[in-house]
Amino acid sequence: MRILIQRVKKASVTIDNTIKGEIGKGLLIFVGIEDSDNQEDIEWLCNKAINLRIFDDEKGIMNLPITDIDGEILVISQFTLHASTKKGNRPSYIRASKPDIAIPLYNEFCDNLQKLLNKQVQTGIFGADMQVELINDGPVTIWIDSKNKE
């Protein structure tokens, strides 16, 4: 499982010209799922995201997790995080899970984040054509892959 985290001042996701989810200061998290992902990957990544100390403290140093700033989270499914670009110029998405595997894992990821954050997590709709708007704060963008824990 891969996540791409962006520290944002605000973010939203629009589907069919309707805003489905929006947040203020917090984390925009894109999630890519592959067939070998499981509950352990979900728990590890959720804990990592919730505890990342990437928000400024009173001295302007990135030292606080999202829970310390009462931030919000928007989660977007994104199979393209598993793109392979080794051969040719057209990315291959062979490692990305099909919906029957990915949707339950995506939902569990969102539920787990919500429990750790202790507030509603905003989401898009899995597999939908989504337009995501954000103001990246910093910019701060962090890539985490549960298969590279060490």
pLDDT at residue 99 in the model: 93
Quick one: pLDDT at residue 92? 86
Cα dist from 14 to 103, 136, 143, 144, whole Å:
19, 17, 23, 25
> Within the chain, which residues score under 50 in pLDDT?
none
The pLDDT assigned to 17 comes to 97
Q: What is the pLDDT of residue 149?
A: 82
Tell me, what's the pLDDT at 87?
A: 87
Please count the other Cβ atoms lying within 10 Å of the Cβ belonging to residue 72: 22
Indicate if 141 belongs to the active site: no
Q: Find the catalytic residue in 80, 85, 123, 141.
A: 80
Residue-level pLDDT at 84: 87
Predicted local confidence at residue 88, as pLDDT:
87
- What's the confidence (pLDDT) of residue 106? 97
Token pair of 82 as six digits: 């598993």
Within a 13 Å sphere around the CA of 89, how many CA atoms are in the beta-carbon half?
A: 0
* Ordered structural domains, the chain, with CATH: 2-145 (3.50.80.10)
pTM attached to this predicted model: 0.95
Residues in CB range of 23: below 8 A, 6 or more apart: 8, 10, 11, 12, 71, 72, 73, 74, 122
- Residues 21 and 13 sit within 8 Å (Cβ to Cβ): yes
